[in-house]
Every structure is written in structure tokens, then in C-alpha cells.
Amino acid sequence: MLQMSNVGSYPPVFRQLNGGGVHPPQQMMAQLKKNNYSMEDTSTTTQEDSVPIPMVDLECLSLHKLGDACKNWGLFRLVNHGIPSTLLTKLQYHAKMLFGLSFESKQALITNPMSYFWGTPALTPSGTALNPAASTSTMNWLEGFNVPLTQLPHFHSEHPMLHCFRLLLEEYGRHLSRIATTLFESMAKNLDLDPKQSESKLDESTAFIRVYRYPPRRSLAGEAWGMIPHTDSSVLSIVNQDHVGGLEIFKDNKWHLVNPIPNTLVVHIGDMMQAISDDEYMSVKHRVRVKKQEERLSICYFVFPAEESVIHSSKYKPFTYKDFQEQVQKDTRTLGYKVGLQRFKA
């Protein structure tokens, strides 16, 4: 396994602060607690708190198992997904090589349509940081690459590492599009959605990949957050995490680890799928804890409805994903956090 010890590859503020705690601001803490996103039990989450989340086999897809996982968990492990293990290994290797470049090199090399960000996962549609991490009180302990898949063929770089990474991401994106479409069509059957009405509820042209690196936190690891508690805005999110672990889900009023298992993916139900399903499927609350001595890498795929596709639900006022996205961006700018579906309650 490739280890990166190049301190200069991390954003400068991470180098400066790698010795003190990073705490969410009081306003954010109050809202998270109100929504049962409490972070107060972080020191008690142990390896024993990991849960055997449901397993779904894409080769022998059981609608019953899939529906049960979506209703009761909001996520599941996907096996026999058809992505070559060599592709997953190469992707992680090249991502680590890119992250290992100097901070200044990454800022210079990663250009439109790809983007480089750090300190926050909240980005504008163009991929720039929505709330730049100017304050340690609002900082997420991460850096990443944002990759809109439809624009990826137009990204050209003379840097051989970036050129190879682009080709790998294109191949990976084709696999993820196949998987997301297969899963969504099966979910639509379970929910008895009208096939024509559900066509625009998952639009492959909206899909993007984010590659995250979570630097180690050599002291007070429990007080630094790779990503604070949240739900995804997507229809589906598909996560490929490395061996380090750190992903946690909130279930039965308790946080649980989702331990990594080689050659499996973790599929999350997002806010849009919750609304489409009339709250039958639940968008899973999750967070990422950083490690003291090891950095963590994850490669995440997100896909959404068509921007102008109207979501009708007995639980929510009619809205489009564009409406939802604009509201999330507004809340994040003004409040510092996402409110989400509560804004659209009927």
C-alpha cells in the first residue's frame, strides 16, 4: 500500500493545526443536535460498534432484499457489481499519487472542468468551495477532486499522471452509470413508480465523482471531523472506500461504523430518493471520522434527477432538484449548514 508522508502535500492550515482540535461552531452544533445528528458520543464509538449492514448482490438482484435495505437502513453493501478489482486498485493508487503532489501543484494542475477543494465538501455547481474554509471552527478535515463525468472527455492535460487518471475515471464512471441505473430501475419496481414518470428521476448527465482524502489527525482525532453529520442530496451515492475506514451511520439513535470490505461498494439512499419514494426509503445520516495515524481515501459517485424534473410527493411540496439545490446553497451560505428536505415539507 502506497504511503504518503509528504507533509507539503496537505493544505497549509492542516499542517499548522495538526496538533489541536477542530470543533464545529455552536450554531451548527445546535442544529445538528436538533436533527438527531448529535456528535457528543464520538469518543464511545469503537470497532465493536460496527454493524453488519445488508448485502445486495447485483448479479442475483433480489427486489425484496433491496427494498428491505432501503426502508430499514438507507444503505447497503453491493457485491458482484462487475467492476474489475484491478480498476478499483488503479484508481486508488493514482488518486493517492495525485494527492501526494504538493498543495501548490494540485492547485495549478487541477483545472476546469475538474476542480480541487479542501476544508469543506460544500461546493457550487461549478465545483468551487461554497463556504471557503477560512475558519477552523467550520472546517472539515478533508481535501478532494470534483469531477463532472459528462465534461470529463473535454479535460486534457499534458501531465501524464492526470491523463491516466482521467481515463480511469471515465471507465469507472461507465460502470457506476450502469450500476446506478440498474439499482434505480429495481427500486422503481419496488415502489411501483410509473416507468415514464420515473425516467427523469435519475439523469446520468448530472453524475459526478468526488475523490476525498482525509489527512491523519495525530492528536485529538475524535475532535477533528473528516465530514460532519449530513445526508446526501442525491438519488443514489455509491462509495468506494479504502482499507482505513471511518465512515459511520446513524441508526437506532446510535452511531455505527461501516467497516470496509475489499471489492464491495457502499450504496447510500439520498434525499432525492427519499422524496421520490414518499419517505418509504430513508436518506441515511452519516459522517466521517479521521484517524490518528493513517489518512483515508474514498471515491464517491453521486447522481441526481434532471434539474427541471418535478418531484411530487404527499410528504413534500412539489419541487425540482434545481429548487432543492438552490435552497441548500442558500442555507449553507447563510446558516453554515444544510437544512435539506425539511424546507420542502408539505
Quote the number of domains for the chain.
Answer: 1
- Is 1 inside any structural domain? no
- Is 256 inside any structural domain? yes
Q: What string of DSSP letters covers 231-275?
A: ---SSEEEEEE-SS--EEEEETTEEEE----TT-EEEEE-HHHHH
Q: What string of DSSP letters covers 2-24?
A: -----GGGS-HHHHHHTTS----
**Residue 46, pLDDT score:** 46
Q: Are strands 55-57 and 75-79 parallel, antiparallel or unpaired?
A: parallel
Angle between helices 160-191 and 63-72 (to 10 degrees): 100
Domain containing 91 equals: 43-343
CA distance 226 to 119: 9
* Residue where the block lists cell 474489475: 84
- Is 2 inside any structural domain? no
CA distance 227 to 336: 14
- Is 11 inside any structural domain? no
Whether 98 contacts 303, CB under 8 Å: no
- Is 29 inside any structural domain? no
Q: Could you tell me which of 286, 290, 287 has the C-alpha nearest to residue 220?
A: 290
- Is 114 inside any structural domain? yes
**Residue 27, pLDDT score:** 46
The DSSP element (H or E) to which 331 belongs, if any, is helix 321-334
* Residue where the block lists cell 473535454: 154
CATH number of the domain bearing residue 99: 2.60.120.330
SS3 of residue 181 by DSSP: helix
- Is 38 inside any structural domain? no
**pTM of the complete model beyond 0.75:** yes
pLDDT of the chain, 346 residues: tens digit per residue: 334 457 889 998 888 877 544 444 444 445 445 544 444 444 344 444 567 899 999 999 999 999 999 999 999 999 999 999 999 999 999 999 999 999 999 999 998 899 999 999 989 888 888 876 545 656 899 999 999 999 998 888 888 999 999 999 999 999 999 999 999 999 999 999 988 778 889 999 999 999 999 998 776 544 568 999 999 999 999 999 999 989 999 999 999 999 999 999 999 999 999 999 999 999 999 999 988 788 999 999 999 999 899 999 999 999 999 999 999 999 998 988 899 999 999 9
Q: Could you tell me which of 207, 167, 168, 164 has the C-alpha nearest to residue 184?
A: 207
CA distance 253 to 41: 11
**Residue 225, pLDDT score:** 85
CA distance 291 to 64: 36
- Is 267 inside any structural domain? yes
**Residue 67, pLDDT score:** 97
